[in-house]
Structures are given as structure tokens and as C-alpha cells.
Structure 1
Amino acid sequence: MDQPPNAALHGEELVRVLVVDDHSLISETLRHVLTEEEGFHVDLAITAKDALEQITDNDKYGVVLLDYDMPDSKGLSLLEKLIAANQGGVALFTGVAGYPIIQKALEMGASGYVPKTTSLRNLKNIIRIIASGETYIPFEFVQKVNNFGKTPFDLKPRELLILNLLGEGLQNKEIGASLDLEETIVKMCVRSICVKLSVRNRTQAVIAGRKSGLL
């Protein structure tokens, strides 16, 4: 490693960042922008296995930006593993996860949610906020959560979360593993969701959820 993890540059502590994303264009762009100015050291990981190995080999990162939709890890299971391995400092960096999933991630100990629509200029400040030990949540996300109770479908929090995971393409077994639920309970929740949305199956439930703004 070229620089020690706590090197101070121009009065600012060096922030070590790990970007976990299988889209090389995004991750390479982030590394280029962040390392343009002194104060950031950026490593990249394109798989869950690579991310865990880099944390083990390079010690704790100040910030880990995790894309929710990784090819070799479903749901929030990778988030949990990275939080444990890195001892915190892991934020979801995604444009696909619905806000119930993001809320669940925060409950699991995520250090924030950073939308991929965030400007690169603001991203530098957000990373420093997370590196300082704070949790970053966009104001728009807070507004959405506060307004969500107005849904007419009377979905329970667990059902809403499962509906969002259905929208991500996860099967019942994968949802159960992600939420630490028995597969039979997941099946019951899916049936309940279908009844409340007045649809016949999970595919129609996802379509109805998107039309209704639940996903």
C-alpha cells in the first residue's frame, strides 16, 4: 500500500475507500474522481469474495460503498458480512433498492444510503461524513419514509420489505436467507401480499407494487 491508512494530507486525514461494484465504468470513474485530489485512497472489488478478501488483507476501510445488486450475493447477506468484517463503515451505494430494503439495511447497521444519482462533488463530502462515524441518509429518503404510512393496501412492514425483495427478483428461499426467516413464513407473506394487492401471483404483485409506488 502506497500510503498508511491514517496519513494526513494538507490537514485532512486520508480516507481509505473500498468500492464494491461489478460495473467497472462506475467504480473506475469514482476512483478517478476521488483520487484526483489528495485525501482519498480507493480500492475496487467486483465480487463479494473479492471485497471480503480486500478487507482481510488491507485492514479496516474508512468507508465501504456497496452496490446492492452484486452478481454473486443476493439480498442483504453481503451487507451483513461486510459490516462484520470491516467493523462498520459500510453504506449502500445503489440505484435499484427500494426504500424498505434501505430501511432494513440501516436497521442492520449500515452507515448510510448513497444514491447513485448523487453528484460526484457531493459524494466526497458524504464519504467524509461516513468516515467520521456518522450515518448519511438523503433528505428525500426521510421524506419518503415519513409519507409511506399513507398506502391503502395495509401492508405490514415485513410484507413491504418482502415485496421489494420480490421486485429484486429473489426467490422465497433467498428472501428467507436474507431476512433470517423460514421459507414457509415467506410463502405466507407472499400470499398475504397478493391478497392485499388483489393479484394472483408474485409477478403481478411486483407489477402492482410498481404502479402503486411501493417499489
Structure 2
Amino acid sequence: MIRVLLADDHAAIRAGLRMLLATAGDIEVVGEAADGATAVANARALRPDVVLMDVRMPGTDGVTATRQVVEEGIADVLVLTTFDLDEYVFGALRAGAAGFLLKSAEATALVDAVRHVAAGDGVVAPEVTRRVLAELAGPSRPPARAADTQLPADLTPRERDVLAALGQGLSNADIAERLVISEATAKTHVSRVLAKLEVTSRVQAAIVAREAGVV
């Protein structure tokens, strides 16, 4: 059974999420929180597998709460937010959120995302990936330089290719096609890249790729 903690300042949203997840059969909502501080405290006490975290909450926001939960190794965090991509969104990704999903996502997509994050996989809504990468590459940002971000010395040439592909928002299937390898091999390379970069999501890796100038 996957244990989930809901963190959102709207009671109606929490109630809706609880009802939705209850239909999955393999997911149990073990607690709720209306603000970030309570989310961290309840996560420490309940030790869920996944925290569904809103980014905008009163008091301690979801970004700070995500960072605390991730740094303490309490649980994986799946961020749920509206379509706005602002400093809170980028902050959540940099804070170590393992998944990022829009609140407008279909019920099946949300349930699948919880399962994937609980299994240790990263999940990012395709719309969010495109918007994040577009923002990173936008004219308002200065060009990235290799000196801005130091990549791990043990990153192999093939892993740099994979990192560049992640920076372009490619899926495992796309990476496999580009590098002429199997999808399973692509997934293995992606996992190794994430581990070497010490990040927990594909979008975090994409941000590193942009800042390091490998894209």
C-alpha cells in the first residue's frame, strides 16, 4: 500500500484528492496538512511514501516544505500546482520534488504519477516540461555558460549526450531513438545521470543541462 500525505490549503481540494486516491485500491491517504509547516511535521510523524504538495500555502510555503522533506529523506514529493510557472515552480524543482503535475491533470494521470513517484521514478507533466524549458531558454535569461555549473568529472561522453537530451525535454523513447540504443538502456543512462548530478527529477537535470551549457 502506498502511503500518501496531502498538503494543500484548500480543504475542498484535499477532500477531492482523498476521494480520488481512495478509488485506486493501492493508495492510502494517511494524513493532511493545510500549510507547509504542518506538512513537514506530519510527514515526520507519519512517514508517508509520497507527499502531494501544493506550492502556494500560507506560512511555510510548499517550496520550503519540499526542501525540508527531501533533505531529511522523509518522503518523495509530488508537486501539484496550477498552470502558472513562476519562481515557486522553479523553486520546487530545485528543492528536489520528484514529480510535478498540474491540478488539471486527469484522475488516472494523478494516480499513475503517485505510483511512479512511490516507485522512485520522476514524473513531470509534458506541458510543464515544455514551459520550464522555454522559460530557461527565453530571451530574458542570459546565455548559460559551462563555467556557471560544474558537471561531475565522472560523467561519461554518452551520459553527457543523455544530459543534453534531457535538457531538450526528450523522453526515454526519444533518447533511445536519437542515440540508437534500447529504451531500457536509455532509462539506465538517465538514472545514472540523475544520480551523478545528485538530482531527483528529469526537470532538475534539464535545468542543470541548460545552466552548464550542454544544450
Amino acid paired to 1:55: A
Amino acid paired to 1:58: L
Distance across 2 between alignment mates of 1:117 and 1:109: 22
Distance across 1 between alignment mates of 2:140 and 2:37: 39
Deviations 1:112-149 (A, max 9, x none): 11111111121111110000011111112222233335
Corresponding residue pairs, total:
143
Please give the TM-score of this superposition, normalised by the length of structure 1. Answer: 0.58
Shift of 1:150: 5.5
Decide which of 88, 92, 95 is 2:82's aligned counterpart: 95
Distance across 2 between alignment mates of 1:146 and 1:53: 33
1:22 aligns with 2:22: no
* Unpaired runs of at least 5, structure 1: 1-13, 158-215
Distance across 2 between alignment mates of 1:87 and 1:39: 20
Shift of 1:156: 7.2
1:133 aligns with 2:148: no
The residue that corresponds to 1:181 in the other structure is: none
Distance across 2 between alignment mates of 1:54 and 1:154: 38
Decide which of 40, 51, 55 is 2:43's aligned counterpart: 55
Contact 1:129–1:136, Cα closer than 8 Å, also in 2: yes
Shift of 1:70: 0.7
Shift of 1:86: 4.7
The residue that corresponds to 2:32 in the other structure is: 44
The residue that corresponds to 1:124 in the other structure is: 111
1:112 aligns with 2:99: yes
* Unpaired runs of at least 5, structure 2: 145-215
The 1:141/1:49 distance shift into structure 2, 3 A limit, reads: closer
Contact 1:63–1:90, Cα closer than 8 Å, also in 2: yes
Please give the TM-score of this superposition, normalised by the length of structure 2. Answer: 0.58
Contact 2:99–2:113, Cα closer than 8 Å, also in 1: no
Distance across 1 between alignment mates of 2:3 and 2:34: 17
Greater Rg over alpha carbons, structure: 1
Amino acid paired to 1:32: M
Distance across 1 between alignment mates of 2:131 and 2:20: 30
Contact 1:99–1:145, Cα closer than 8 Å, also in 2: no
The residue that corresponds to 1:77 in the other structure is: 64
Distance across 2 between alignment mates of 1:93 and 1:137: 10
Distance across 1 between alignment mates of 2:75 and 2:86: 21
Distance across 2 between alignment mates of 1:133 and 1:148: 27
Distance across 2 between alignment mates of 1:75 and 1:18: 13
Amino acid paired to 1:145: V
The 1:108/1:56 distance shift into structure 2, 3 A limit, reads: closer
The 1:57/1:124 distance shift into structure 2, 3 A limit, reads: same
* 1:171-210 equivalence runs, <5 A: none
Q: What RMSD in Å do the two structures reach over aligned CA positions?
A: 2.4
Distance across 2 between alignment mates of 1:52 and 1:119: 27
The 1:116/1:84 distance shift into structure 2, 3 A limit, reads: same
Contact 1:20–1:64, Cα closer than 8 Å, also in 2: yes
